[in-house]
Amino acid sequence: MRYSVDLAGTLVRTPHKLAQGLLARDLMTWVRVEFLGAATGLGLLEALREPRTEAALARDLGITNIELLGSLLSLGESLGELERADESWTLCGRRAKAFSDPAVEGLAA
Model pLDDT for residues 30-66, shown as the tens digit of each residue: 889 999 999 999 999 999 999 999 999 999 999 999 9
- pLDDT, position 60: 97
Name the nearest CA neighbour of 98 among 53, 36, 42.
36
CA distances from 32 to 14, 39, 40, 86, 108 (A): 22, 10, 12, 24, 12
Q: Side chain identity at 69, as an amino acid letter?
A: L
Q: Side chain identity at 48, as an amino acid letter?
A: L
Task: Tell me the H-state helices in the chain.
Answer: 5-12, 17-42, 44-47, 54-61, 66-78, 94-99
pTM of the predicted protein model: 0.78
| Rounded distance between C-alpha atoms, residue 88 and residue 39, angstroms | 17
Instruction: Name the strand (E) or helix (H) holding 83.
Output: strand 82-85
Domains contained in the chain, CATH given: 5-104 (1.10.10.10)
Model pLDDT for residues 27-37, shown as the tens digit of each residue: 788 889 999 99
Percentage of residues in the chain having pLDDT higher than 70: 84
HSE (side-chain half, CA atoms, 13 Å) at 31: 17
**Rounded average pLDDT over 81-97:** 95
